[in-house]
Amino acid sequence: MKLELRGITKRFGALVANDHINLTVEPGEIHCLLGENGAGKSTLMNVLYGLYTADEGEVLLDGEVQHFRGPGDAMAAGIGMVHQHFMLIPVFTVAENVMLGNETTLSGGRLDIQAAREKVRAIADRFGFHVDPDALIEDLPVGVQQRVEIIKALSRDAKVLIFDEPTAVLTPQETDEFMGIMRQLRDEGAAIVFITHKLREVREVADRITVVRRGAVVGEATADQPDSELAAMMVGRAVELTVHKDEPRYAETSLEVSGLEVTNAQGAVVVDDVSFTVRGGEILVIAGVQGNGQTELTEALVGLEHASAGSVRLAGKELVGRSVNQVLDAGVGFIPEDRSTDGLVGEFTVAENLMLDRRQGPPFVRAGMLQLGARDDFARNAVEEFDIRTQGITEPVARLSGGNQQKVVVARELSRELRLLVAAQPTRGVDVGSIEFIHKRIVATRDAGVPVVVISTELDEAVALGDRILVMYRGRVVGIVPADTPRDVLGLMMAGIAPEGSAAA
């Protein structure tokens, strides 16, 4: 089925999320929609999927104009979408999830689960997936869950498949397998829209590339164009994709973590006997697929999570057992993984957010009273220095773009006297321009002799930023390796396979 979008325009108030976008996807092709976060890719796909109504423009399938009132209509017309966050019910089986919303019943209203099972098996066999129709979703690895989503779409005879940032949760190996699946689907004649901002993936599978920036199509590209050209199209200017940094100059202060263990509320050990050392002036990147204990590890480092065993010593001083406040006072800067939940108070102004974790005394508080003058001066300087694009320091931070929000967090944490920086996913959901800036600031902090721990699930970032890379898998350290370790070795490590000759610390 041929998909055509003509002149799609979607406005949210004054913001034009999609500005007369044209897009054609032929059957049997993988069409990449490349753009930064906030460029309007997801909005466009939500229009296509019937979740939003376009203000202007039309959606055509095989030349016929469609009027979707909701995802139900879109599905019925043959459009399937695999969301970034899976829409599966964890306590249901694979077959139950696949039939959900499209249940067939036997006499007396009984669900025809047998038919669903057979459907799952048939599709799984066709593509060589190994999926047990009776397995519970919650017991399946993320990569397999994604296949269930694909099966679900295919079970409704989807001819147009939309993948919205599908690789964010996958290991490099799973990503490779996923690319294979996409090619297979294409070869069977499906029209595929692949949304991503990762250049590597685009070049690997795309038949055609459409680049979107600020809600408008800025051009088409081919897969053989170099990264720098694609990035420049995405951002609208030339960007440096590599991080320039000199050899580390080690300083005195160091962070020593030994035998750290964290148990979650259910009693499962999520950080298991983790030990490492970061010297002043170096960046240690903690890599791994999302959900392998990195979050809990960082939270334990800053006192947000209770460590059931082990120690964290900063310049010889024990941090385990201290409150978050005491940890911050000890000179630890923390960029949390999820800025909107953990890093910022959305309704607070830029200025208020810039003092969020500095309420304990001068310069912003004296005798229990806020020093608004000092705060606003600081905020104005920070906005300038960190290039935070805002209408003013009194603008609620929720109105800023993701990249600028992140810069507020970075500005706050880096404007203090630091003895350790812990940055969790510092560039997630941040535009390429801001990534460049944030990376530079992190390297500058390292060069000032501060030990830096960066948590990243993006291999590119880990390799670019790290002096050394620690890979975590299921709460344990797989190994600590130099940053120039080959990517396939790192990929295997992320799947839990330790490289030969490396000591699992």
Partner 1 sequence: MSDTQTSAEHRRVADDSDRWREALHRIVSGSWAVSLGAIVLAVLGGSIMIIVTDPGVQQASAYFFSRPSDTFAAIGSSVGGAYYALFRGAVWDFGADSFAGAIRPLTQSLTMATPLIMAGLGVAVGFRAGLFNIGGRGQMLVAAAAGGWIGFAVDMPWPLHMLVAVLAGMVAGAVWAGIAGVLKAYTGAHEVITTIMLNYVGFYLVSYLLATPGLLQAPGSSNPKTPHMLTSAIMPDLLGRRYNLHLGFIFALLAVAYVWWLLNRSSTGFAFRAVGENPAAAKVAGIDVPRTTVSVMLVAGALVGLAGVTQVLGTVTTGFSYDIDAGIGFDAITVALLGGSRPIGVMFAAILFGAFKAGGSVMQAAEGVPIEIVQVVQALIVLFIAAPPLVRAVFRLPQPGKRPKRGKRAARRQEVAA
- Residue written as token pair 């000759």: 501
Least CB distance from residue 302 to partner 1, whole Å? 8
Told to check if 352 binds partner 1 by CB under 8 A, we report yes
What is the C-alpha separation between 366 and 473, in angstroms, rounded?
Answer: 46
Told to check if 504 binds partner 1 by CB under 8 A, we report no
Q: Tell me whether residue 8 or residue 221 sits nearer to partner 1 (CB atom).
A: 8
Letters for 4-33 (x = contact with partner 1 by CB under 8 A, - = none) are: ------xxxxxx------------------
Told to check if 399 binds partner 1 by CB under 8 A, we report yes
- Both tokens of 228, joined, read 């720098």
The interface region with partner 1, picked from 116-124, 243-251, 320-328, 438-446 by CB under 8 A, is 320-328
Letters for 174-203 (x = contact with partner 1 by CB under 8 A, - = none) are: ------------------------------
**Residue 386 half-sphere exposure, CB side, CA atoms within 13 Å?**
31
Least CB distance from residue 201 to partner 1, whole Å? 22
What is the C-alpha separation between 200 and 129, in angstroms, rounded?
Answer: 24
Are 234 and 436 in contact, with CB atoms under 8 Å apart?
no
Name, in order, each residue with C-beta under 8 angstroms of 240's C-beta and a sequence gap of 6 or more: 436
- Both tokens of 318, joined, read 């024990």
DSSP secondary structure, 195-224, as one string:
EE--HHHHHHH-SEEEEEETTEEEEEE-TT
How many other C-beta atoms are found inside a 10 Å radius of the C-beta of residue 297? 28
The amino acid present at 174, given as its one-letter code, is E
Name, in order, each residue with C-beta under 8 angstroms of 139's C-beta and a sequence gap of 6 or more: none
The one among 38, 78, 451, 475 contacting partner 1 by CB under 8 A: 475
What is the C-alpha separation between 251 and 5, in angstroms, rounded?
Answer: 57
The one among 234, 270, 400, 430 contacting partner 1 by CB under 8 A: 270
Least CB distance from residue 238 to partner 1, whole Å? 32
The interface region with partner 1, picked from 31-39, 101-109, 117-125, 333-341 by CB under 8 A, is 333-341
- Both tokens of 206, joined, read 């795309």
Told to check if 394 binds partner 1 by CB under 8 A, we report no
Least CB distance from residue 370 to partner 1, whole Å? 5
Least CB distance from residue 216 to partner 1, whole Å? 17
Told to check if 141 binds partner 1 by CB under 8 A, we report yes
Least CB distance from residue 13 to partner 1, whole Å? 3
The H or E element spanning position 269 is: strand 269-280
Told to check if 261 binds partner 1 by CB under 8 A, we report no
Told to check if 432 binds partner 1 by CB under 8 A, we report no
- Of 55-84, binders to partner 1 (CB under 8 A) are 55
The H or E element spanning position 66 is: strand 64-66
Told to check if 374 binds partner 1 by CB under 8 A, we report no
The one among 1, 100, 142, 505 contacting partner 1 by CB under 8 A: 142
Are 335 and 343 in contact, with CB atoms under 8 Å apart?
yes
Told to check if 90 binds partner 1 by CB under 8 A, we report yes
Told to check if 50 binds partner 1 by CB under 8 A, we report no
Are 451 and 442 in contact, with CB atoms under 8 Å apart?
no
Give the residue from 369, 331, 376, 330 showing the smallest Cα distance to 353.
376
Residues at the interface with partner 1 (CB under 8 A): 10-15, 52-53, 55, 90, 138-142, 264-266, 268, 270, 290-293, 295-296, 302, 304, 323-325, 327-328, 334, 336, 341-348, 352, 355-357, 359-360, 365, 368-370, 372, 398-399, 474-475
